[in-house]
Structure 1
């Protein structure tokens, strides 16, 4: 058994393991090789210190990766740790070993980048069939939030049209690079009251919207003209991606807080989903905070989305050294 950081030439083995775990644990989190290669180049990621591959001979049997948010949330830094162990190698201490290394790295990285700042570490415990949640609890993590994965099929989809409350000059357009900055700013405003969300920097936003998986053609932005014919204000947006061929994933839905309750998100999401089904997609998926302050889960059920699985985010607060 050997441990090494994840090199670019390891990405194919990493993808094979990740997709095997997605099928075994029924998480739905499948990735193409290109998607994981991009993760090694994410802003702030140093693969040499922020990733781990665990090998038995030529087979990758475990992995771990660390992310540190570029901005604070509630005065704290935010770290997330993700990983997995092949089923036949579980309950042998491999997962704990990876967590030991990455938790230590999190403390070092925070001390370097944000000295004397407390931080949180988040880990997922939503995979059925193994003890990720139990391991998190044993390491001092506590259940912090619950999330729901939902999906809709063409026959169950119930779209909503333009709401009566919409401004007369408001219109939906496909996302384009020219809208990147206004939508990023709107995203930061819309998610400011959402649990665990941190403002996205320009680099973080670019990493998301310029990735292989991003689907601008199915992403929608609601624009309002400001005293003229040129749209200048973004009121609502829906961003989409494709991780599994033939399935569209709704990655972000946000509405300006001053424009909530007018039916904008239902309208924008309906157009995005309908466009996907018209293009031949067989399913549309999303994940939602079960306690979202906007009541988003209710909106998705209204459009025909149904619960597929539930997950738990575990969190630990770490005091600065």
Structure 2
């Protein structure tokens, strides 16, 4: 559909309602379980690592109807600076010029980052494995598939084996609140070997603790006999989302084991302990996401305790040229 569009930046609170309406109009057609609300959008957009002036963009019809929204998340680290592009286009306006304008905006913004930082950049995006139209569109723009991520689930009512940490290791709870710096270091050292890793910051942790669901009992850390944080499991129940969907689900949000402590059964023990906490909280289904090619063997671990794949997401990327760097 060829129309004249107006592109503009995010202007604040008044944009939240039309953005939420656009996302939910897409959800009504796509059924991806990715609807949103004004409150959820506010939490995400107000996060400390979101550049609201430069990394959010809206597309409107001449009548002022919002039909496209895009957000870039650009971690401030790495030899190559990545821009993660998330976008939605109203179902009535797909397949025209809107998607191309969104990708063009993302490329232009990342080239600005390259000039400012003097490093190569890439644009990344993702979608469900079953969304052939989105995959073909991204590939037509020069994106290539790099990775598959699986959503997995398990019924909480199924028996959960008893967790066993190595001798003299202890399980502590609530360390994100009690010892945030050490928890952030543990997180980063646990995921440093993972594909496309970007460090967690203390500012981000503090923001999530203040704005997202948190229960100390779901915040588990394995501590070695000499007092080191060796591994962690963090679980979440999104009560508002469960109310909207009518489901009763809990998440293994993150699970990791620090270098030097792997292959001792710590990750398995923490996973089982987290599952027990969610089971005790009364959830019906336990969910998680995993890199299908995780170098730590996470997929096999999850399968071994009863998790099964429900769907896959694909990560795609496109390297962007900066002529100044080439010279």
Are 1:46 and 2:45 matched, yes or no?
no
CA distance in structure 2 between the partners assigned to 1:141 and 1:289 by the alignment? 19
Shift of 1:13: 2.8
Give the match's secondary structure for 1:301: helix
Question: Which 10-residue stretch deviates more, 276-285 or 53-62?
Answer: 53-62
SS of the aligned residue for 1:259 comes to coil
Q: Distance in 1 between matches of 2:56 and 2:219?
A: 31
* TM superposition shift of 1:20: 4.1
Post-superposition Cα deviations, 1:68-88, rounded to whole Å, max 9, x if no partner, equal 10111xx21121111111222
Contact 1:50 1:67 in 2 (8 A): yes
SS at match of 2:173: strand
Partner residue, 1:144: 146
Matched, 1:61 2:67: yes
Alpha-carbon distance between aligned partners in 2 of 1:316 and 1:12, rounded to the nearest angstrom: 32
TM-score by length of 1: 0.87
Does the CA-based 8 Å contact 1:220-1:269 persist in structure 2? no
Aligned pairs for 1:1-20 within 5 A? 1-6=5-10, 7-20=12-25
Report the CA distance between 1:89 and its aligned residue: 1.6
Q: Residues 71 and 167 of structure 1: is their aligned pair in 2 closer, same or farther, counting only changes over 3 Å?
A: farther
Aligned partner of 1:229 in structure 2 is none
Residues 288 and 20 from structure 1, CA distance in 2 versus in 1: closer, same or farther, beyond 3 angstroms?
Answer: farther
CA deviation after TM superposition for structure 1 residue 130, in Å: 5.6
Change in 2 beyond 3 A, CA 1:242/1:29: farther
Matches within 5 A, 1:223-238: 223-226=223-226, 232-238=227-233
- Gapped runs of 5+ residues in structure 2? 243-247
Q: Which stretches in structure 1 are left out of the alignment for 5+ residues?
A: 227-231
Is 1:216–1:240's contact at 8 Å kept on the other side of the alignment? Answer: no
Q: Normalising to structure 2: TM-score of the pair?
A: 0.86
Runs of 4+ displaced beyond 6 Å: none
| Contact 2:106-2:123 at 8 Å conserved across structures | no
Deviates more, 1:26-35 or 1:311-320: 26-35
Q: Is the 8 A contact 1:216 1:239 kept in 2?
A: no
Q: Which residue of 1 aligns with 2:204?
A: 204
Distance 1:261-1:128 versus aligned 2 partners, 3 A rule = same
SS of equivalent residue, structure 2 residue 54: helix
